Structure 1
């Protein structure tokens, strides 16, 4: 890969998702849920960090492995958003955009993985 990870659209979208999650976690309902709040923040940051780290190996097999970790973190974030609704920590309306964005990122990661697999 000759591109910098910062140029990947999926990386840029993952930063948007992280921003959405960090804003949502400022909701007072999450104040007492430190473990929950910490976990979802770590999971969302993991998405972009794994894209960045994997790209630096200059090895498609390694990069694919890190992109798969990013996909897993996307699912973790989505699961925690769903749970936050069920625990009445936030409204469903608050989580629609981040859930949709996490699905979009996950799909983009899948396409990126398939592209890289064809180049291994």
Structure 2
């Protein structure tokens, strides 16, 4: 058990920026127990109108501006301190993987694909 986090690309445009059912998707990234990134994504989910009580098994579309903001947060080491049952701890070793995901996500957007984040805990 624990926090499993995923990012995907899809050619099917989501009907809404949150809480949508995705089309066929390709995995861009996987993280295991990186709660600070998950907390950042939850803040974005709420800002985009997400209302699920638990930020779990819901989809969040990421656009170019979101990726810019995420890159800034990663590079400045300002992802919000986040904790939860079975979430583990962010330890800083995720830095390069986070930046690699952002690069892959930008490439997917450049190809005209949609990018989204989801998690399961």
Pair in the same fold by TM > 0.5:
no
Q: Relative to total residues, which structure has the larger strand share, 1 or 2? A: 2
TM-score by length of 2: 0.42
The structure whose Rg is larger is: 1
- Identify the structure with the greater helix proportion: 1
TM-score (norm 1): 0.42
